[in-house]
Structure 1
Amino acid sequence: MIEKRPRIAFLGTGAQGASTGADFALAGHDVTFIEQWPDHVEAIRENGITVNLPTETINARVPALHLCQVAEVKEPFDIVFIVVKAYDTKWACQLIEPYLAPDGLVVGLQNGMTHEDIATIVGRKRAIGAVIEIASNMWVPGTTNRQNGRDTSWFAMGALDPETQDRVEAVAELLRCTGTVEVTDDIRSAKWMKLVVNAAELIPSAIVNMALADAARAPGMLEVMREAGYEAMRAALADGSKIVPIIGMPPVTTNDPERYVDRIFEEVLQTFSQEDTLTTSLQDWRKGRRAEVKEVNGWVVDILAAHGQTAPVNERVVQVALEIEKGRLEARPENAELLIDALRSARPQR
């Protein structure tokens, strides 16, 4: 069982991991950062981790390890929060698994359906899925800018194995130092609902190189983003997921999946983002990194294909995004027309 003061690691301390991990440190928890950006590790060691919140700036002193120093860990971790990109999940879990206590837990604070990847490495009884809703960015080592206060930061958590579900609340209580945390017995559906809104917002707004709010106001783009979400919802239902409320929304009162997509997308725009919020995908591209294209929009395409259905808007999003990542196309507002063309072809199928 998890002891009163568990040994905790945050594996991945970019914008999201660093801001939540800083709250853990200031709450007095035994927390260690493990990070792949060398300059970031050195900045944290020298000056601590600084988090700029909407109404305050905090600084926490946290032990920070380079990836190569994980091999020096002597005492195993009781809880590991994985906060790396979805496509980095498996290797991150392989890295940390030898340093996880026999009854330790791995929590995936990530976009995408990464809970199954975690389970394949550490086992289903040690895997906890999670949903995270925070807007933040990081451009320089040692400092993260969190655009949500703790009152508008939201998480959901649930075990993959029913035998582990009674341990989730203890982990959730730890996470409540940084935001609202709900425990669910259907984390798979909750993860799908987050992927629905991610499919609508992350890559589409990055393709047109705009802040999320600006992209949603650009001519034709709101319809494109909603259609990407509608396709994702169809994929979720085809995959056996239920429509469940997330990010603090009230219980579902509509039987129309598309209306629910509209509601959840509107909630993200109004509550969980600001006028200048850049999605994590656009931040990745501006840093020269690849984004979670296949893990979000590509997932929708693949799931619907497996059920004999198509996802023309998400398919176009993936195609355009990969061209941008290959350097064959530039992320720019004019790309909206490429997505709108896909929307026009999709509507006759509905």
Structure 2
Amino acid sequence: MKPRSRIVLLGGGAVGSLVGGGLAAAGHEVVLVDGWHDHVEAIRADGLRVTTPEGAQTVRLQAWHLCDAYRLRDARADVAFLTVKLYDTDWAAALLATWLPQLVPVVTLQNALVEERVARFIGHGRTLGGIGSGLDVFMAGPGEVRRTRKRGAAGGNVFKIGEMHGRRTPRAEAIAAMLSDVDTAAVTTDLWTERWVKLTANTMTSGLSGLTGLSLKAVYSGEETRRIAIRLGAEAIALGRAMGFTLERLFGLPGEAWLRAAAGDAEAEAAALDAMAAQAASMVDGGMSGTLQDLSKGRPTEVAFFNGFIATEAARLGLAAPTHARVAALIAEAESGNLPLGLGNLALITAGTTAT
């Protein structure tokens, strides 16, 4: 039997709630700290409702408001997960640095390249990277999280835990074993490449879902959305190579295949289209990307850390990433309320951009 762990999650959104709920259901002691008042109160009153393609269950765990964060000093936690939005990283990391006992490691279960930012507050020796791929989760309301991807169906390990220095350690292995109670998990000794793979995948689909209002399954299934996603993937892969990231496979295909597909190679394009369709086959209907969820709620998106980051870094290195730049610009318009969501935005993405 696995040992029972004491776990803190700062950030009770979709990822934090899914992971926290899964760990609590497996018997771990879980504290979820969040700033959404109604969510915390719903969990306290009725538990956390977790719905997945395998079924639904209500689990009990501790839910704290942000004003309760001082209690972390006495929480005796074994590990803390940072599961906030990317634009909330700095203050959230500072909060953990203030109240979490200094021997407790912190795992950045977020998107994009955030470990260095977190380490500035927490310290490099305490910071680990955590990647969650193929989760496809959203909040259905206070106290209720839903997942639209079947357990183990994403291909490969869903969770990857890595030390910043790249060595395999007992604590990384223990955290990966813990997360295997939620879905498949493993230790990676190449955190930065894994980060780039996840970033590339996010930038291929999340923005498209947000701008069109389509579910993730629909993005992975649609002919036009898949073709735009191929261009986005190729631009990110080309930039990653220039920055020293060697992306071996993305959605089961070698990085070179995505570059050839974007350049017009018919065989590579067919393989890329099929690879994305295969992702759709592992999902159920209704899953919204994080970008679509944010736009629907009138919240800021993470586009500056996704497509915006790719566009900015490409420009800095003298490379072209026009599709990313276009997606980032359109999402910024949507955030400000000047651009309605809909399929018509696909034409706006392709207007004035060229294939890589």
Q: Give the TM-score taking structure 1 as reference length.
A: 0.89
1:99-138, aligned counterparts within 5 Å? Answer: 99-133=99-133, 134-138=135-139
Match of 2:331 in 1: 321
How many residues in Structure 1 have an aligned counterpart in Structure 2? 340
Q: Which segment is superposed worse, 209-218 or 82-91?
A: 209-218
CA-to-aligned-CA distance 1:252-278 (integer Å, 9 cap, x gap): 76744536993764553333x333322
Q: Deviations over 1:167-221 (max 9, x none)?
A: 2001111111000002110011001001111111001221112123334555633
Q: Which residue of the partner structure matches residue 145 of structure 1?
A: 146
Of 207-216 and 114-123, the range deviating more from structure 2: 207-216
Q: Give the aligned partner of residue 158 of structure 1.
A: 162
**1:121–1:314 distance in 2 versus 1, CA, 3 Å:** same
Contact 1:243 1:257 in 2 (8 A): no
Moved more, 262-271 or 183-192: 262-271
SS in 1 for 2:291: helix
- The separation in 1 between residues aligned to 2:184 and 2:233, in whole angstroms, is 25
In structure 2, what is the equivalent of residue 242 of structure 1? 246
Distance 1:161 1:182, change over 3 A: same
Q: Deviations over 1:64-121 (max 9, x none)?
A: 1100110233425331111111111111111112233322211111121122222222
In structure 2, the partner of 1:86 is 86
1:228 to 229, 232, 235: 232
Moved over 6 A (4+): none
SS in 2 for 1:113: coil
CA RMSD of aligned residues (A): 2.4
Are the equivalent residues in 2 in contact too, given 1:125–1:161 (CA < 8 A)?
Answer: no
What are the superposed Cα offsets for residues 3-36 of structure 1, whole Å, 9 maximum, x if unpaired?
9544310111222211211121122212101011
Q: Which runs of 5+ in 1 are unaligned?
A: none
Q: Which amino acid aligns with 1:337?
A: A
Letter in 1 for 2:129: G
Percent identity of the aligned residues? 29
Distance 1:197 1:82 in 2: 21
The aligned amino acid for 2:56 is T
Once the two structures are TM-superposed, the CA of residue 238 in structure 1 deviates from its matched residue by 1.5
Report the equivalent of 2:320.
310
Instruction: Report SS of the residue matched to 1:103.
Output: coil
Q: Distance in 2 between matches of 1:41 and 1:317?
A: 34
2:57 is paired with a residue whose SS is: strand
- Cα separation, 2, equivalents of 1:266 and 1:330: 27
Q: Which of the numbers 333, 346, 349 marks the counterpart of 2:354?
A: 346
Inter-partner Cα distance in structure 1 for 2:161 and 2:167: 15
CA contact (8 A) 1:220 1:340 kept: no
